Amino acid sequence: MFLVRLARNLIELGTSRVTFLIEWYWENENLYDPNQETLQALRGTNIELILGVPNGDLQSLATASTANDWVQNNIGAFSPAVEFRYIAVGNEIKPTDAATQYVLPAVNNIYNALVSAKLDGQIKDSTSADTTLLGNSYPPSAGSFSAKNAEGANMEIVVSETGWPSAGEAAATVDNASTYYRNLINYVNDGTPKKPGKPIETYLFTMFDENQKGPYETERHFGLFYPNKQLNYIDDTKNINIGFALFTTPGIVVQDGSSGCQNLFDATLDSFYFATEKVGLPIWRLLCQGLVGHQLVA
């Protein structure tokens, strides 16, 4: 089973670029905002979506009636012609952010709205967390972060963004980006040392270079394609062994008890697995974002 997908900020995608997705046989996408034009263009394409809830909407969605309206307007109005896979309620909200207090109520309200619409069996909701949420991740079995409730041991993790920049810093080159993506695609079906043999549902970030992103130059160069749709192909990595990040080390780099990690992708994911077992999360699935070298917390 091939589990690498394509993540892309599709806010201004429109019909022509949806056609472009179909021409390139993309089957799963990450849409960060319920843009109505894009959702209309995706009707009947069989492209499955992670649909994002913008952080600015979380406070209003902490009210049940607003969440019901959101689901009706952005999901119910397009389903089943548009195939929704997950709803990511908020993006990379940190414990110190003002919006943190609204994440769990919004997740619960969106879930209840899906139940009311009889869509909960086919669409799951969660929130997207980046790797800075980990208070510790070295070695992976020490992975921890602050959360409440239980049953984290059975949580499934989806990597909703991972990528490598092709320009902007010394290690950000087309060759390194190509190596990262090629090895990632060949690797994700094998699982991690903690969960061997369990395929990792993974989304590549991102479809196009985005010249208005920042503040770091590397943030503009994660695209598999240039904005003119020409194939590009494919952050601060100074504290990470480049082979460890690119899946090219020949042996174990991080020894962790009786097991060990040969690459950064494994080490980061297993840190999340261990952290969820220790404290659990009151959500069905965790959508991990930003699995690139500089975000490993050691």
Segment of 62-66, 90-94, 260-264, 266-270 carrying the highest mean pLDDT: 62-66
Instruction: Please state, in angstroms and as integers, the Cα–Cα distance from residue 134 to each residue in 145, 195, 295, following that order.
Output: 5, 19, 10
Q: Which of 29, 37, 48, 92 is catalytic?
A: 92
SS (H, E, C) 71-110: HHHHHHCCCCCCEEEEEEEEECCCCCCCCHHHHHHHHHHH
Q: Please give the mean pLDDT across all residues of the chain.
A: 75
User: Is 217 annotated in the active site?
Assistant: no
Q: Which pLDDT value is given to residue 208?
A: 67
**Arithmetic mean of pLDDT, 55-77:** 97
User: Is 161 annotated in the active site?
Assistant: yes
Is pLDDT above 80 for 27? no
Please tell me the distance from the alpha carbon of residue 169 to that of residue 165, in angstroms, as a whole number: 9
Which tens digit of pLDDT belongs to each residue from 190-205? 888 888 888 888 877 7
Q: Which pLDDT value is given to residue 47?
A: 83
Is pLDDT above 90 for 144? no
Tokens, residue 36: 């109505």
Lowest mean pLDDT, pick from 88-97, 159-168, 229-238:
229-238
Q: How far is CA 233 from the centre of its chain?
A: 19
Give the whole-number percent of the chain exceeding pLDDT 70. Answer: 73
Alpha helices (H) along 117-218: 174-187
Q: Which of 83, 161, 210, 217 is catalytic?
A: 161
Lowest mean pLDDT, pick from 17-26, 46-55, 262-271:
17-26
**Arithmetic mean of pLDDT, 128-142:** 79
Is pLDDT above 50 for 247? yes
Segment of 117-121, 193-197, 287-291 carrying the highest mean pLDDT: 117-121
Tokens, residue 295: 């975000």
Q: Which of 268, 277, 284 is nearest to 152 (CA)?
A: 277
Residues 293 and 240 sit within 8 Å (Cβ to Cβ): yes
Is pLDDT above 50 for 141? yes
**Arithmetic mean of pLDDT, 20-44:** 72
Is pLDDT above 70 for 54? yes
Confidence of residue 133 (pLDDT cuts 50, 70, 90): confident
With vertex at residue 291, the alpha carbon angle to CA 286 and CA 294, rounded to the nearest 5 degrees, is: 135
Residue 283: count of CB within 10 angstroms of its CB: 23
Residue 91 φ/ψ, nearest 5 degrees = -130, 110
Q: What are the residues whose beta carbons fall under 8 Å from the beta carbon of 205, sequence distance 6 or more?
A: 7, 8, 30, 161, 162, 163, 222, 289, 290
With vertex at residue 135, the alpha carbon angle to CA 132 and CA 139, rounded to the nearest 5 degrees, is: 100
Q: Which pLDDT value is given to residue 228?
A: 57
Residue 122 vs residue 30, higher pLDDT = 122
Q: Which residue has the tokens 């950000």?
A: 172
Q: Which pLDDT value is given to residue 170?
A: 87
Preceding peptide of 193 cis, ω within 30°: no
Please tell me the distance from the alpha carbon of residue 208 to that of residue 205, in angstroms, as a whole number: 9
With vertex at residue 259, the alpha carbon angle to CA 247 and CA 129, rounded to the nearest 5 degrees, is: 60
- E strand or H helix at 129: strand 124-130
Q: Which residue has the tokens 């929704």?
A: 84
Is pLDDT above 60 for 98? yes
Q: Which pLDDT value is given to residue 18?
A: 54
Instruction: Please state, in angstroms and as integers, the Cα–Cα distance from residue 202 to each residue in 123, 163, 185, 252, following that order.
Output: 17, 10, 9, 23
Residues 53 and 72 sit within 8 Å (Cβ to Cβ): no
Burial 155-170 (b: 16+ CB within 10 A, else e): bebbbbbbbbbbebbe
Q: Which pLDDT value is given to residue 103?
A: 92
Torsion region of 201: left, alpha or beta (phi above 0 gives left; psi -120 to 50 gives alpha): beta
| pTM listed for this prediction | 0.69
